[in-house]
């Protein structure tokens, strides 16, 4: 590891965001996909987790491109390369934002390997896409059509950035819009990653394992004003009512809830930490298969 960075054999990059003497290894997986782990750096700061927080970039995502550690055709390894990141540590808690959380639920091998799991603004299946499409049609944004047309005609990193910024108000409340736009403006967009997900993951996604039972302690958390990923989908998912699964709704927050209400996000992570500590004291989990 050099300057707090390390890579797995298939090019997953892990960057240390914070470290304390005791606790767990928290791996923050970004959404998008293609936005890069910079998009969840603020989440890692807001969470203030005990132990070490790592920002995770899959190979070919965000700024994790054009380096010797990333192999050719990296998307063929998605999302399974996340297993390599887990295997690099003990006492792992994985935190997935939006599509990042869906990647985690698409990997049943994780169930026996994790101490904890946190799903932020995520979903149990691809049904969220239809709900969002209907909501977006009813809430048009001036100028968004031009950005969408430009992206369709010439999909690249710059047109993806412009499209995402044009749609910013769907992701944030009016109170958080300025800070949200500032976040989105500074991310390393990766069109190729977004295109891979659109072609190979988004429409067919279905969780392949359910938290609870003997699996990791789990937190499902989202903004009360998240209109991107429908959190009502969890109501029909039996895992979300399990005693080892915490549900928290962040008031006054959108799809990136730590932007509008970091205090409640921190409190939600504190609840997950308490559950993890309780299970550790009882010897209630193992981080190995």
Each residue of 70-125: pLDDT tens digit?
A: 999 999 999 999 999 999 999 999 999 999 999 999 999 999 999 999 999 999 99
Q: Does the residue 99 lie in any domain?
A: yes
Q: Per-residue DSSP letters for the chain?
A: -BTTEEE-TT--EEEEEEE-SSSEEEEEE--TTTS-GGGGHHHHHHH--SEEEEEEE-TTSTT--SSTTSPSSGGGGTTTTHHHHHHT-SSEEEEEETHHHHHHHT-GGGTTT-SEEEEES--SBTHHHHHHHHHHHHS--TTHHHHHHHHHHS-SHHHHHHHHHHTHHHHS-TTTHHHHHHHHHTS---HHHHHHHHHHTGGG-B-SS-S-TTS-EEEEEEETT--SS-GGGGGG-GGGGSTTEEEEEETT--SSHHHH-HHHHHHHHHHHHHHHHHHHHTT---S--
Q: What is the mean pLDDT of the chain?
A: 93
Q: Tell me what percent of the residues of the chain surpass a pLDDT of 90.
A: 87
Q: Does the residue 172 lie in any domain?
A: yes
Q: Which domain holds residue 167?
A: 5-281
Report how many domains make up the chain: 1
Burial tier of 139 (Cβ tally within 10 Å: 0-12, 13-18, 19+) = exposed
- The pLDDT of residue 236: 67
HSE, CB side, 13 Å, CA atoms: give it for residue 137: 6
Please compute the mean of the pLDDT values over residues 235-241 and round it to a whole number: 62
Q: Does the residue 287 lie in any domain?
A: no
Q: Does the residue 204 lie in any domain?
A: yes
- Reply yes or no on whether the pLDDT at 288 is more than 50: no
Confidence band (pLDDT; 50, 70, 90) for 68?
A: very high
- Reply yes or no on whether the pLDDT at 289 is more than 50: no
Confidence band (pLDDT; 50, 70, 90) for 150?
A: very high
- The pLDDT of residue 282: 77
Please compute the mean of the pLDDT values over residues 269-276 and round it to a whole number: 96
Q: In whole angstroms, what is the distance from residue 264 CA to residue 250 CA? A: 6
Q: Does the residue 10 lie in any domain?
A: yes
Q: Does the residue 289 lie in any domain?
A: no
Domain of residue 132, CATH code:
3.40.50.1820
Number of C-beta neighbours around residue 17 at 10 A: 20
For 180-235, what is each residue's pLDDT tens digit? 999 999 999 999 999 999 999 999 999 999 887 678 999 999 999 999 999 999 98
Q: Does the residue 288 lie in any domain?
A: no
């Amino acid at each position: 590891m050099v300057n707090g960075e390390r890579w797995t054999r298939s090019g997953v990059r892990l960057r240390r965001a914070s470290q304390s003497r005791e606790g767990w290894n928290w791996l923050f997986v970004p959404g998008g996909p293609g936005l890069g782990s910079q998009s969840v750096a603020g989440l890692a700061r807001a969470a203030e987790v005990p132990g070490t927080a790592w920002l995770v970039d899959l190979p070919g995502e965000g700024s994790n491109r054009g380096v010797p550690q990333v192999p050719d055709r990296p998307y063929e390894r998605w999302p399974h390369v996340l297993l390599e990141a887990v295997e690099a540590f003990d006492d792992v808690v994985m935190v997935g934002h939006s599509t990042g959380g869906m990647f985690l639920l698409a990997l049943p091998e994780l169930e026996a390997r994790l101490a904890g799991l946190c799903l932020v603004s995520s979903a149990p299946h691809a049904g969220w896409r239809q709900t969002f499409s209907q909501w977006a049609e009813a809430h048009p944004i001036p100028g968004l059509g031009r950005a969408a047309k430009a992206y369709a005609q010439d999909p690249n990193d710059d047109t993806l950035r412009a499209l995402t910024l044009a749609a910013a108000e769907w992701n944030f409340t009016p109170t958080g819009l300025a800070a949200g736009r500032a976040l989105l403006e500074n991310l390393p967009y990766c069109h190729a990653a977004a295109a891979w997900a659109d072609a190979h993951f988004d429409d067919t996604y279905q969780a392949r394992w359910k938290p609870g039972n003997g699996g990791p302690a789990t937190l499902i958390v989202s903004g009360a004003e998240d209109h991107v990923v429908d959190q009502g989908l969890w109501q029909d998912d039996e895992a979300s009512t399990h005693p080892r699964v915490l549900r928290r709704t962040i008031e006054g927050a959108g799809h990136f809830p730590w932007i509008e209400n970091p205090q409640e996000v921190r409190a939600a992570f504190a609840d997950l930490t308490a559950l993890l500590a309780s299970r550790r004291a009882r010897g209630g989990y193992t981080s190995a298969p």
